[in-house]
Amino acid sequence: MNLLRDSTADRISNLPGDVIERILMSLPVKNAARTSLLSRNWRHCWRSIPQLVFDRDFAPPAETEGGLYSTDANDKLMMHIQEALLGHDAPTITKFEISIPGCSWCPKVDLLMLHLSRKRVEELTLLFWGNLDHESPRLHSSLFSSAFPLKRLKLQYLVFRPPSGFVGFSKLTFLELQAVNLPSDFCENFIPRCPLLEELRILHCSAREHVFVSPSLKVLLFRSPFLKICFKHTPILSVVSVLDDQGKSSYVGTSLVKHNPRFVRLFASLPVVEHLKLGTELLLFLADGHVPYQLPTALHNLKFLEVPGILLHRLPQARDLVCLIKSAPNLKRLIVRLDDNEERAPSEVTASLQTLLGEDQHPGVCCLQHLEEFDIQGTRGTREELELVRFVVVNAPIFCRISIKHKEILFADTVSKFSNEMLIYKHIVGVINCTH
């Protein structure tokens, strides 16, 4: 009989409170709230969980045309979120998230923010859907009060305008802004007010001039239109990705000073960069001035370099790439993704690329001693591509892996010709893999 009673006992309800809390946090909010129906012991358990996440598990993505909830459905959804928040009894909420696909901002969000300001939220995610314009909803001023000891913040489709008295987020370590309307001086004036910020992501946002000033910043992911990009006092920034915003960049050469050595200055501000990914717009921005054969101070920490969408027959972009390769003595992985959407440049550009690379195209001058992998994609068998591959092959050690992926539209004889020209280097490299 004792064994029978033990086997039917409610062992879950007798678990320690912190264990029950972890179980409830692993459930969607909707299911966690439903546990209140299990028994008296469970009636109020969900009200004290420190994390409230309202995502696609809370409500399915909108199925209307355009992928947005109707106004009535959106208001009703926000009302349910508000009811759940008002029913929450814990004095603090470590994480609060709204990320329901198709859900857009509505005035009820301001009421949510006011209530959240009393909960000492550390991680806040507000991902709304809509259109980025000057009429986008503005974040409630309570977000910028000291009542929010934020450590992580993610926003989407909102207007981000800190009030004049904003002193900063003293504990913020992570910030992601996607399709957010930013003030023009956001990077220069806001980021320094976040002294502990380690990771910053700016994706498809409105500000056009970006001056990054952050002594604690380690990771920067940037994909937005820009007129200006520079770094000031970023001594430990190690991961940098600056990509084009799907062809929407507004870079114009007339806004730059001729012969301004911004290429040298930019990388002098990144002394410990390890992972570098540069789009073509940034290459053009940097090339509109003096680009040296090699940087005066080598990038000894740079291990990974990726250049997507480059046009090798355009001399400015080719010069940037060559300079970076020759300035990174410890480079381990090099990825080059080619873009051939534009018509080819005159033949003298090819000759100039050969000149840039030719000085190192013989054994004995090895600037890629630590290279382990070279990946070049979108090749068409052009002379510039062959010159670049030869340069890497000759200067790389015998254990370097070479991966060459041709454009699908290439004729078989072109692929065969490219591959045959690489055969003479098989004694230098371990693997040359050419695919169509």
Domain boundaries, the chain: 1-49
The pLDDT assigned to 225 comes to 85
Strands 174-178 and 239-243: unpaired
- State the first-to-last Cα distance of the chain, in angstroms, to the nearest integer: 72
* Residue 401, phi then psi, degrees to nearest 5: -95, 125
48-87 pLDDT, tens digit each: 677 888 888 888 888 776 788 888 999 988 988 888 888 7
- The pair of structure tokens assigned to 123 is 């991680």
Distance of alpha carbon 374 from alpha carbon 370, whole angstroms: 11
Distance of alpha carbon 152 from alpha carbon 199, whole angstroms: 10
The more confident residue out of 47 and 231 is 231
94-110 pLDDT, tens digit each: 899 999 999 988 888 88
- The pair of structure tokens assigned to 413 is 């004889």
Confidence of residue 150 (pLDDT cuts 50, 70, 90): very high
- The pair of structure tokens assigned to 139 is 């974040």
337-388 pLDDT, tens digit each: 887 665 544 444 555 566 666 654 444 445 788 999 999 888 877 778 888 8
232: left (phi over 0), alpha (psi -120 to 50) or beta: beta
Only one residue has tokens 């930019």, namely: 266
* Residue 389, phi then psi, degrees to nearest 5: -65, -45
Only one residue has tokens 């454009």, namely: 407
- Most confident of the ranges 217-231, 359-373, 378-392, 398-412: 217-231
Only one residue has tokens 């991961």, namely: 239
Q: Could you tell me if 394 and 421 are in contact, meaning their C-beta atoms sit under 8 angstroms apart?
A: no
Q: Could you tell me if 209 and 228 are in contact, meaning their C-beta atoms sit under 8 angstroms apart?
A: yes
Q: Which residues of 101-129 are buried (b: 16+ CB within 10 A; e: fewer)?
A: ebbbbbeebbebbebbbebebbbbbbbbb
